[in-house]
Chains A and B, each alone.
Chain A
Amino acid sequence: MARIAILSYIKRNSPVHELTGTTKLIFFIAWSVASMVTYDTRVLVCMLLISAVVFKVSKIKIRDIRIVLGLAAVFLLMNNLFVYLFAPEYGVELYGSRDVLFTIAGPYTITLQQLFYHLNMTMKVICVVPVALLFIACTDPSEFAASLASIGVSYRIGYSVSLALRYIPDVQREYHNISQAQQARGIDLSGKDKLFTRLKNSVAILLPLILSSLNRIETVSNAMELRGFGKKKKRTWYARRQMKRNDWLTIGFVLTILVVDLVVTFWDGSRYFNPFV
């Protein structure tokens, strides 16, 4: 529990890093929307390829994000498994035909349609993963609040986000200290105790954490108030960068993808690309 593996900003020299935070934020949002809306296999394959290319360009190594990829793989595997356990005939329902490959036991048959549905579902998640990881790994946290403000989010909320990013390491360290101190006093959170005891024990850790956080809130907000935070309607940002040619190109590119995605997906009146008809 000492070090919680967290993906964070990785400084490299790459075209992706050079883009402004605003561009990357817009890219990330548009990409998420595009992948959420579609269930069209053709679109998903294209998006998957593009995100692989973007990943290559960013110079972030697989090694840097190994842990995160492992988590994502486990997540996907479990998700697929449970969808299948709960609804082995779901694909058949969706695509309106049934080609049985073989039977495992009872109602659990493997059909072509079910496999195809799982393929689509998995791709839908996978094609966002590289973009989300890149967004975190390639965006300087101090630039992030500025980018939020520049797409029209209130700067107060932008400031909340950057405060959160700023205080995550502090809160983490504090949690670690408190939990070690309480462990020394015989309070345990690990699997050895009963669930209810564990919940009760967690209060012994959470209470000091909350109280010290409330103190911190007091201190930080007094400091900000003293410096006149929130007086004016607008704010300037030290970390904001000017948009360059590449930024506009990237934004144009991702918006085009979004439009193509919507058109291809809804052209024939259905979200699903059905190769079985």
Chain B
Amino acid sequence: MKKLSVKSVVAIGIGAALFFVLGKISIPTPVPNTYISLQYAIQAVFATLFGPIAGLLIGFIGHTLIDATNYGPWWSWIIASAFAGLVIGIVTLKLNVNEGIDTKKIIHFNIAQIIAHLLSWGLVAPCLDILIYSEPIEKLFAQGLVAGVSNMITTGIVGSLLLVAYAKTVVKKGSLNKED
């Protein structure tokens, strides 16, 4: 494995802490054990800024901590969370947010997060659930659908707004002009 830079190590740690804190204040939906989770917006932003490994580990560590302090770890969903971060990180690898942001980049970011959540909650989580917990398929896909769609909406709205606001705060290259 490529060595993690010091900055990624810290970003993973603090990202996971953010993931955990936001995971604890989530808004419930009518489907059991499924919430509107702000933490995925943060995870997506961090995965975009710090890369796929950071996205993966933030999801894994953050979600494990949430579950372990709630009711014991539900591994299939933890892995799905980690997977979502990884995919977002990979797809947005070339997206240089530090150099400003435009509509094209926002669309790129949203495509990344939609693919990631589709794969995670539509495929990874239900399949692992069947494998590990052997629950009925109908229930798992309904659960995955609600989780996936609500995560997509949350990440799409909150994540995009955060990225735009963040990009505005970064001082761009060549932003100083010499006075005539």
B69 touches A68 (CB 8 A): yes
Q: Is B176 an interface residue (CB 8 A)?
A: no
Number of A-B residue pairs at CB separation under 8 A: 191
Given contacts A71-B71, A132-B72, A157-B57, contact A86 B139 (CB under 8 A): yes
Among the 9-residue stretches B82-90, B106-114, B119-127, B162-170, the one with 4 or more Cβ atoms under 8 Å from chain A is B162-170
Closest residue on chain A to residue B13 by CB atoms = A163
User: What's the tally of chain A residues with a CB closer than 8 Å to chain B?
Assistant: 74
**Candidates B15, B139, B169; contact of A82 at CB < 8 Å:** B139
Q: Is A198 an interface residue (CB 8 A)?
A: yes
Q: How far is the CA of A129 from the CA of B57 in the complex (A)?
A: 23
Q: Is A172 an interface residue (CB 8 A)?
A: yes
Closest residue on chain A to residue B135 by CB atoms = A83
Q: How far is the CA of A226 from the CA of B86 in the complex (A)?
A: 29
Q: How far is the CA of A196 from the CA of B73 in the complex (A)?
A: 30
Q: How far is the CA of A135 from the CA of B64 in the complex (A)?
A: 12
Given contacts A1-B25, A71-B71, A79-B33, contact A230 B6 (CB under 8 A): yes
A148-198 residues with Cβ-Cβ distance < 8 A to B are 154, 156-157, 159-168, 170-172, 175, 191, 195-196, 198
Residues of A within 8 A of B103 (CB): none
Q: How far is the CA of A198 from the CA of B31 in the complex (A)?
A: 19
Please, what's the 1-or-0 string for A75-87, where 1 marks a CB less than 8 Å from any CB in chain B?
1101101110111
Please, what's the 1-or-0 string for A33-72, where 1 marks a CB less than 8 Å from any CB in chain B?
0001001000000000000000000000000000010011
B165 touches A207 (CB 8 A): yes
Please, what's the 1-or-0 string for B71-99, where 1 marks a CB less than 8 Å from any CB in chain A?
11101000000000000000000000000
Given contacts A136-B68, A159-B13, A164-B61, contact A4 B169 (CB under 8 A): no
Residues of A within 8 A of B5 (CB): 230
Residues of A within 8 A of B62 (CB): 164
A200 touches B161 (CB 8 A): yes
A160 touches B12 (CB 8 A): yes
Q: How far is the CA of A220 from the CA of B69 in the complex (A)?
A: 26
Q: How far is the CA of A207 from the CA of B38 in the complex (A)?
A: 12
Closest residue on chain A to residue B49 by CB atoms = A214
A171 touches B142 (CB 8 A): no
Q: How far is the CA of A159 from the CA of B20 in the complex (A)?
A: 17
Closest residue on chain B to residue A170 by CB atoms = B17
Given contacts A159-B9, A225-B6, contact A128 B14 (CB under 8 A): no
Residues of B within 8 A of A1 (CB): 25
A230 CB to closest chain B CB (Å) equals: 5
Q: How far is the CA of A70 from the CA of B165 in the complex (A)?
A: 39
B1-32 residues with Cβ-Cβ distance < 8 A to A are 1, 3-7, 9-18, 20-22, 24-25, 27, 31-32
A206 touches B139 (CB 8 A): no
Residues of B within 8 A of A68 (CB): 69-71
A205-245 residues with Cβ-Cβ distance < 8 A to B are 206-207, 209-211, 213-214, 216-217, 220-221, 224-225, 229-230
A162 touches B13 (CB 8 A): yes
B9 touches A132 (CB 8 A): no
Q: Is A264 an interface residue (CB 8 A)?
A: no
Residues of B within 8 A of A161 (CB): 13, 16, 61
B139 touches A166 (CB 8 A): no
Q: Is B171 an interface residue (CB 8 A)?
A: no
A75 touches B31 (CB 8 A): no
Residues of B within 8 A of A195 (CB): 36
The 9 closest A-B pairs by CB, nearest first: A163-B13, A87-B136, A78-B32, A72-B71, A86-B139, A132-B72, A164-B16, A160-B12, A167-B17
A–B pairs, 12, beta carbons within 8 Å? A71-B70, A94-B134, A136-B68, A160-B10, A163-B10, A163-B17, A164-B14, A166-B17, A171-B17, A200-B157, A221-B11, A271-B134
**With A165-B17, A207-B166 already in contact, 12 other A-B pairs whose C-beta atoms are closer than 8 Å:** A4-B21, A82-B31, A82-B139, A86-B136, A154-B4, A160-B9, A160-B13, A163-B9, A164-B61, A167-B17, A217-B14, A230-B9
